[in-house]
Amino acid sequence: MNMSSNNHSLPLIDILYSFSLDERGVNAEVLDEFIQLYPQHATALTDFAIELAVDSLLVEPVREGSTAACSDTGKRSPSVARAMSHFQSLMYSLDRTDAVDRKHASNSVSVPNPFATLEQREFRDFARDLQANTVLVNKLRDRQIEPQTLTRGFIQRVSDLLRTKFEVIAAHFAAPASPRLAGEFYKADDKPVIGLRQTFEEAVRSSNLTEEQQRHLLSL
Amino acid sequence: MAQPLTKHHRNGKRYERPPDIERLLDLALKLAGIELKKRVAIPDRDDPGFLSSECLVHLMRDARKRKDQNTMDFIMPCLLSRCEETLRTKVPDTKYKDAANLRDEILQEFAALFAVDGTAQDKHQQLDFFECKFNLAFATFRRDAVSRERTEGKLFPGMPAFVEQEDSVSDDATFSKLAKVLGQPATHEHRLLLAELNHAIDTLPPDERQAAVLHWRVGYEIESENPDKLTVAKLCNVTGKTIYNRLKRAAQKLSRFKEEA
């Protein structure tokens, strides 16, 4: 292929957004142009174009969501509630870190959340390497597990995977959960109780993990 | 007026919201309290009061910047509900072994974009794209997760219902009919057929799927005598003959759809 380009500075994700937002849609002409411009990403662009092309066969729904899901009194779907919980947790953690950074506070005031800085892919990779899933890792990140029920082996494994000191990981788990998280978006049938946490075994058993994953995690 | 976006095109020009989004934002930014809440909750695109998802993204980012928890608390669930609805279509239970978890993951990762927006952790400022064309940006965002599922083999295995058939029609005629079916734009009128076709394509072996989509949907030629021209063969790094054989096998499996041409 006779392709040359000096467009090496843009991150791949920007190139992919730019490709998908192109007014001309997904066709050979557009893909050709992008591959010529970014030959280093030719494979990624081709794979992406295939996914977009297949995806475009599925027609979007006319109605976007339901009124009930948006109203004050309406019940949010469990999936939306979990996403809200994730959002609030991460926002709380990042804002807190920002505030602490601004005030140059000491570590004793703020316990850093070692999960807060993980990017999406890193977060998923961590879940996979732990032989768990993101449901359980969300609980770890949000401190929804009783710290005294976590085994030393498990904390050590988390520490190794995050390349963070054992003490930092242990301090994170031991810090109190955000009252906002525990109170407002806790997924449960009963009214949530602020600060309520699951034991490690309960958390593992209720995270849609396979039997094998559960056995592995509880054996650490 | 809404603040300009910060992302730049490769030609150095800033990304801009489409004019209709700008107009809608001008109106929406003047709304407050109950009125804004009411408008945000309208789910029907045909309702004159409907606020587009591009608009909700901007309002949400604005609220996040101002740390306006009340506004975030009613915009975010509505936006997420819309995304959830789309995910039900695009990541259906019939296609993925663990579709519910996959939809959950995508939704949570999308929500995280708003949490990091404007902070030091916001390395890519992806939400600018969502203010331009929400659906396409969301499709891009989904891709990572869906591709991962594909490579990890979490798709359902091929449907046994599609039995390979001997076909008396020539390959050229079959190929041209499939190109017609696959090349058509997605419309609500053909919604069910296209969904079936999408499923059928996804159950092809990866090499056949790649060849079929690049040739029949994206529009590449199988091969060319011009060495500089990109073709399916070149993109897949194999000979034209190999692509032709892959297409032939794919055509047999998709043969029932050619009657729809």
Chain B hits for A26, Cβ within 8 Å: 217-218
The reply to whether A99 touches chain B by the CB within 8 Å rule is: no
Establish if A4 touches chain B: CB-CB under 8 angstroms.
no
In this complex, do B45 and A10 lie within 8 Å of one another by their Cβ atoms?
no
Select the residue of A1, A14, A70 nearest B41 (Cβ to Cβ): A70
For residues B147, B238, A32, B110, the Cα torsion angle rounded to the nearest 10 degrees is: 0
In the numeric block, the tokens 């085994």 are attached to A151
Spatial distance between the Cα atoms of A174 and B3, rounded to a whole number of angstroms: 42
Overall average pLDDT of the A163-178 stretch: 78
What single letter denotes the amino acid at residue A219? S
Which residue from B120, B111, B72, B60 is spatially nearest to A98, judged by alpha carbons? Answer: B120
Measured CA to CA, the distance from residue A163 to residue A159 in angstroms comes to 6
Percent of chain A residues topping a pLDDT of 90? 10
Tokens of A33: 């142009």
Mean confidence (pLDDT) of chain B = 82
Ordered domains of chain B (ranges, CATH): 19-152 (no CATH), 165-260 (1.10.10.10)
Tell me what pLDDT residue A123 has.
84
Instruction: Tell whether the model's pLDDT for residue A194 goes beyond 90.
Output: no
Whether B149 has a pLDDT exceeding 80, the answer reads no
Q: State whether residue A206 sits within 8 Å of chain B by CB.
A: no
SS3 of B193, please?
helix
> CB contact, 8 Å: B89 with chain A?
yes
Check residues B252 and B184 and name the one with the higher pLDDT: B252
Compute the mean pLDDT over every residue in chain A, rounded to the nearest whole number.
76
Q: What percent of chain B has pLDDT over 70?
A: 85
Rounded Cα distance between B197 and B261, Å, is 12
pLDDT at B168: 45
Q: What percent of chain A has pLDDT over 70?
A: 74
Output B147 or A76, whichever has higher pLDDT: A76
* Structure token digits, residue A4: 């040359």
Touching check for A98 and chain B: CB below 8 Å? Answer: yes
| B202–chain A Cβ distance below 8 A for any pair | yes
The rounded distance, in Å, linking the Cα atoms of A134 and A115 is 12
Residues 1-30 of chain B with CB under 8 A from chain A are 7, 9-10
**A10 burial level (CB within 10 Å; 0-12, 13-18, 19+):** middle
**Residue B123 one-letter amino acid:** K
pLDDT digits (tens, 9 = 90+) for A30-83: 999 999 999 988 988 998 898 888 887 776 655 544 544 565 545 678 899 999
* Cross-chain Cβ contact A51/B132 below 8 Å: no
pLDDT band at B161; cut points 50, 70, 90: very low
Residue B139 banded pLDDT, cuts 50, 70, 90: confident
Chain A contact for B38, CB < 8 A? no
Q: Write down the pLDDT at residue A179.
A: 43
Residue count of chain B: 261
Share of chain B above pLDDT 90, in %: 28
CA A145 – CA A181 distance, rounded (Å):
13
Nearest Cβ partner for B45 among A64, A79, A91: A64
Q: How confident is the model at residue A188 (pLDDT cuts 50, 70, 90)?
A: very low
For B199-221, how does the pLDDT look when each residue is reduced to its tens digit (9 = 90+)? 888 888 889 999 999 998 888 99
The shortest CB-CB distance from A79 to any of B107, B142, B217 is to: B107
Q: Note the pLDDT tens digit of each residue in B28-83.
A: 888 878 888 889 888 888 888 899 999 999 999 999 999 999 899 989 999 999 99
pLDDT at residue A60 in the model: 62
Q: What is the mean pLDDT of residues A135-157?
A: 85
| Cα–Cα distances in angstroms (integers) from residue A67 to residues A78, A113, B43, B92, B140, in the given order | 16, 36, 6, 22, 26
Q: Is the pLDDT of residue A26 over 50?
A: yes
